[in-house]
Structure 1
Amino acid sequence: MFGFTSQDGRHRGDTELLDAAVDHPTLLFFLPVLHTAVEFDARGIDRLKRALRPGNVPVRMFRHLVAGRAMVRMTGRDLGDLLLLMLEHPDGAKVAWGILFKRLFADRSMKQPHEAELIHAGQEILRQFKFV
């Protein structure tokens, strides 16, 4: 997957291959990893959401979205939606918090404002933790 690039070096992302991965148990496991090599579009976000359905992909695999700054290439709305879906899984809050932390750090480093959807997702993630 990582080798499918155009001549100018940008990843072109074979959506048919990624669509097929959703129906193939072995590839489905690695879908979050494969998505770090391509640009995100509506179909890609939908694939990741389907992968987050219970029993599909362990939520820990979504930690790979921080690789290649994949989470920076997503809109705040799309990333926020994914983070909220992660909360439905055991340990999902830990994974979501790690991804959100990296995204907020990246936004600040690039002098970008934090999107409202990410702030909302962060509030929901924090509600999952017990503070003593």
Structure 2
Amino acid sequence: MTPRLQPLRFVLVGVAGAAVNLAAFVAVHALGGSAVLASAAAFILACACNSRLHLRVTFRHGLVPVSFRTARYTAVSGVALLANVGVLHALVSAGSPAVTAQLGGIALACPVNYLLSTRLVFRRSPAVFRPSPFPTSA
């Protein structure tokens, strides 16, 4: 995979995740859930979808072991969720419509998620042993 295209692939998965997020947000909010509850539920569903898509589309190289990746993904998602809900709450409190506020939250959470994911979650595994390309003298 070409590393130069990784940000583009991340954005494409993010667009799919944003669509899932907004659909879930509208559904939960329409069923009577508060904007914050709808945002959190939508974010969790979108993160679950994005996690699988990122593994298949964005970051297909040798990854850190699953247990470490899962713990890191959960932590990164928590930070992005706080950013998303914080923006949503601030915008709704300022009078913005809930869906517009959710879009604002997604807009902030996406770059936070990308930066943390590329550095902490989906990074390449360190090489355990790589033989030297230089012959050793005997």
TM-score (norm 2): 0.25
Bigger Rg over Cα: 2
- In terms of fraction of residues, the more helix-rich structure is 2
Highest RCO, 1 vs 2 (Cα 8 Å, sep ≥ 6): 2
